[in-house]
Amino acid sequence: MNEKRKQAVALAYNSQEHIAPVVVAKGKGKVAEQVIAVAKANGIPIQEDPSLVQLLSELEINDAIPEQLYKVVAELFAFIYQLERTFGEKK
């Protein structure tokens, strides 16, 4: 059985610059591993959601997420912000 190649998509949101989160990095295989390693090294939370990654991987770098994904991504960001408030930001 073949394992699926690892995929990763990194999102960023700055309400001053964008109306929705944008894709800032993405990749498969070794590139995905590098995206994840950089996130871990910088204390950036990582969420594993293969279905969401599949949808987001269809976007290009600097593309805003589509309106259909606003709710799920907003819930994910809210969860991360709550964790940071509860446990403090990693430095």
The per-residue pLDDT for range 55-83, each reduced to its tens digit, is 999 999 999 999 999 999 999 999 988 98
pLDDT at position 89 over 60: no
Q: Where are the domains of the chain?
A: 7-87
pLDDT at 1: 40
pLDDT at 83: 85
| Rounded Cα gap, residues 84 and 58, in angstroms | 29
Contact (Cβ atoms closer than 8 angstroms) between residue 20 and residue 65 = yes
CB count in 10 Å sphere of residue 39: 15
Write the pLDDT tens digit of every residue in 22-62: 999 999 999 999 999 999 999 998 999 999 999 999 999 99
Level-2 CATH architecture, domain 7-87: 3-Layer(aba) Sandwich (3.40)
